[in-house]
């Protein structure tokens, strides 16, 4: 889409920070109650995906595999896929199974859809309300963001198909919240709270706030815990409107609109004073209810904090390595607080990149280090990028995915007035810390 941004003279990727689609797909599925992703690839693929997510969220990840062996590649793996589906079904009785294809199955031309069709036909009696789907998610295209969005869209489409008619009565005081992958479980929780404060009922999907926030409720299980229950999704088709947070979620929102005529509204990001104002104004109109005193206070506090922080941010040059939607939100907010420059590297292309205020290129962390060479006061990115910041002696603030060797990063909040105040403090403190180090 934006090939001109890429450094085409470089044949390889040095210190890549792109996270594959399958990770995004599996992550999205954790936000659905009692779901089970099954990765159709070599056994190592599963371990890598599970390990990454577990490290970041400090939670077990519901995930299984179809073990592809060399014989499967020659004779086809349909039988193995059936075995895996059957095993998952008989042992755990999930509510939602998605067979996820990898570049390997794509390359040998496995027909996942047919596998699922066969399985459903064979087990139509015992299946009950279990939803079985398939989705190809090769890792040579897209990134975590697209994987997450595509998985959500896939499930929304399936729910749309199941729910049938478009002329069902709508309930104005119910909102669908499509939460993008750059939101932490803490963010999603905050958004649900804000929306509820207007007396609106909210259906969140995927809902990571109740699955990967770190609760002990269910004990040890192989299925996803928490998340939005599947039967609840049918109610989605009678909501008053859909709110998508993150532009990548627009596809799913559009799918709902097309089938049920539910209007949607996309908020690229909810970080920052302006973005939060827009969101609250939207909710106020939608619900015809006034903003609660609590949030009026929060806005005051944010404004005061912005005044307090003006010196910490003034004249600062910030570089970031994040996914497109995340970059857009961050750049908007940093523009609002008035940093001197914002330059960034994105792991994959997206139309969103054109809207970013600042310089953006598609690349890897070697490119990020080149940016750092021109001078920067703060480096923002995932834990993978931390070593580059260390090498260049630039203050580092973790954000994005994956983050490891840190506690509670999945509970940080950066949306709404309160979240913006929190991120204002976090980034501001990192800048101040770096300044102290310079003057020493």
Partner 1 sequence: MPKGKNNLFVEPDCEHNGQEKKGCARPRPGDVSRGCPCAGSLTALMPIADAAHLVHGTAACLESRWGKFGDRIDFSHLSGYGFSTQLTEQDMAMGGERKLLQSIGYIASNYNPPAIFVYATCITVLSMEDLDSICEEAEEIWGIPVIPVHSPGFSGSSSNMGRRLAGEALMDRVIGKGAPQQDKLTEFDINLIGEYHGQEEGKSIEALLAKAGIRVLAKITEESHFAEVSCAHLAKVNMVVCSRSMITLARKMKDKYDIPYFEGSFYGEREIRFTMRQIGFHFANADLDKRLLRYIRKEEERLRVEIAPVRRALKGKMVVLYTDGLESWTYLTMLQELGLKIAAIGTNRNAQEDMSRIRERLNEGTVIINDCDDHQILQVYRERKADLMIVSGRNEFVPLKERIPFLSVGWDRHVSYAGYTGVRNFAEDLLGTLEQPVWVTSGKSAPWEG
User: Applying CB under 8 A, which residues contact partner 1?
Assistant: 10-16, 18-20, 22-23, 38, 41-52, 54, 59-60, 63-73, 80-81, 83-84, 87, 102-104, 107-108, 138-141, 216, 218-222, 383-384, 386-387, 390-391, 404-405
Whose Cβ is closer to partner 1: residue 83's or residue 277's? 83
- How distant, in Å, are the alpha carbons of 311, 394, 421 from that of 435? 11, 11, 21
Whose Cβ is closer to partner 1: residue 69's or residue 294's? 69
DSSP string, 100-165: EE-HHHHHHT--HHHHHHHHHHHTTTT-TT-EEEEEE--TTS--HHHHHHHHHHHHHHHHHHHH--
Whose Cβ is closer to partner 1: residue 64's or residue 204's? 64
Whose Cβ is closer to partner 1: residue 68's or residue 189's? 68
Phi, psi values for residue 37, rounded to 5°: -75, 140
CB 99 within 8 A of CB 22: no
Whose Cβ is closer to partner 1: residue 45's or residue 156's? 45
CB of 75 to partner 1, least distance (A): 11
CB of 232 to partner 1, least distance (A): 24
Whose Cβ is closer to partner 1: residue 217's or residue 438's? 217
- How distant, in Å, are the alpha carbons of 90, 132, 168, 169, 258 from that of 237? 31, 20, 8, 9, 11
Find the helix or strand (DSSP H, E) in which 428 lies: helix 416-439
CB 419 within 8 A of CB 187: yes
CB of 144 to partner 1, least distance (A): 10
The secondary structure of residue 264, as a DSSP letter, is E
Whose Cβ is closer to partner 1: residue 81's or residue 249's? 81
Q: How far apart are CA 431 and CA 440, in angstroms?
A: 15
Q: How far apart are CA 396 and CA 305, in angstroms?
A: 22
DSSP string, 365-406: HHHHHHHHHT--SEEEE-GGGHHHHHHHT-EEEE-SS---SS
Question: 362: helix, coil or strand?
Answer: strand
Which among 336, 346, 347, 341 is positioned nearest to 318, based on CA atoms? 341
Question: 275: helix, coil or strand?
Answer: helix
Whose Cβ is closer to partner 1: residue 221's or residue 258's? 221
CB of 373 to partner 1, least distance (A): 14
Whose Cβ is closer to partner 1: residue 47's or residue 308's? 47
The secondary structure of residue 198, as a DSSP letter, is T
CB 65 within 8 A of CB 48: no
Phi, psi values for residue 34, rounded to 5°: 50, 45
Whose Cβ is closer to partner 1: residue 124's or residue 220's? 220
Find the helix or strand (DSSP H, E) in which 28 lies: helix 21-30
CB of 213 to partner 1, least distance (A): 14
């Amino acid at each position: 889409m934006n090939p001109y941004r890429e450094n085409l003279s470089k044949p390889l990727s040095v210190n890549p920070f792109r996270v594959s689609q399958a990770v995004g797909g599996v992550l999205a599925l954790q936000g659905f109650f009692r779901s089970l992703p099954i990765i159709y690839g070599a056994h190592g693929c599963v371990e890598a995906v599970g390990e990454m997510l577990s490290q970041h969220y400090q939670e077990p990840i519901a995930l299984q595999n179809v073990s592809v062996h060399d014989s499967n590649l020659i004779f086809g793996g349909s039988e193995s896929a059936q075995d895996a589906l059957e095993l998952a079904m008989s042992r755990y009785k999930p509510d939602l199974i998605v067979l996820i294809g990898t570049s390997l199955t794509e390359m040998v031309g496995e027909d996942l859809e047919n596998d699922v069709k066969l399985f459903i036909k064979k087990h139509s009696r015992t299946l009950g309300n279990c939803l079985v789907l398939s989705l190809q998610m090769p890792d040579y295209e897209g990134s975590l963001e697209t994987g997450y969005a595509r998985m959500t869209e896939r499930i929304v489409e399936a729910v749309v198909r199941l729910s049938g008619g478009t002329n069902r009565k709508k309930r104005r005081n119910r909102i669908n919240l499509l939460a993008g992958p750059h939101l932490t479980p803490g963010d999603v929780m905050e958004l649900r709270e804000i929306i509820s404060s207007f007396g609106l009922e909210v259906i969140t999907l995927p809902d990571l706030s109740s699955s990967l926030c770190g609760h002990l409720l269910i004990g040890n299980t192989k299925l996803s815990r928490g998340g939005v229950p599947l039967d609840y999704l049918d109610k989605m088709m009678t909501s008053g409107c859909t709110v998508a947070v993150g532009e990548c979620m627009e596809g799913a929102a559009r799918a709902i609109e097309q089938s049920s005529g539910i209007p949607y509204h996309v908020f690229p990001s909810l970080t920052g004073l302006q973005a939060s104002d827009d969101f609250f104004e939207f909710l106020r109109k939608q619900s015809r209810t006034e903003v609660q005193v609590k949030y009026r206070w929060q806005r005051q506090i944010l404004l005061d904090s912005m005044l307090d922080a003006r010196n910490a941010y003034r004249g600062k040059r910030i570089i970031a390595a994040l996914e497109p939607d995340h970059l857009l939100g961050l750049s908007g907010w940093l523009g609002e607080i008035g940093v001197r420059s914002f330059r960034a590297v994105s792991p994959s292309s997206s139309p969103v990149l054109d809207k970013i205020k600042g310089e953006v290129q598609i690349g890897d962390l070697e490119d990020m280090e080149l940016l750092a060479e021109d001078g920067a006061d703060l480096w923002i990115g995932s834990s993978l990028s931390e070593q580059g910041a260390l090498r260049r002696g630039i203050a580092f603030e973790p954000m994005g995915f994956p983050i490891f060797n840190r506690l509670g990063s999945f509970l940080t909040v950066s949306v709404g007035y309160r979240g913006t105040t929190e991120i204002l403090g976090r980034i501001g403190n990192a800048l101040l810390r770096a300044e102290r180090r310079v003057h020493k």
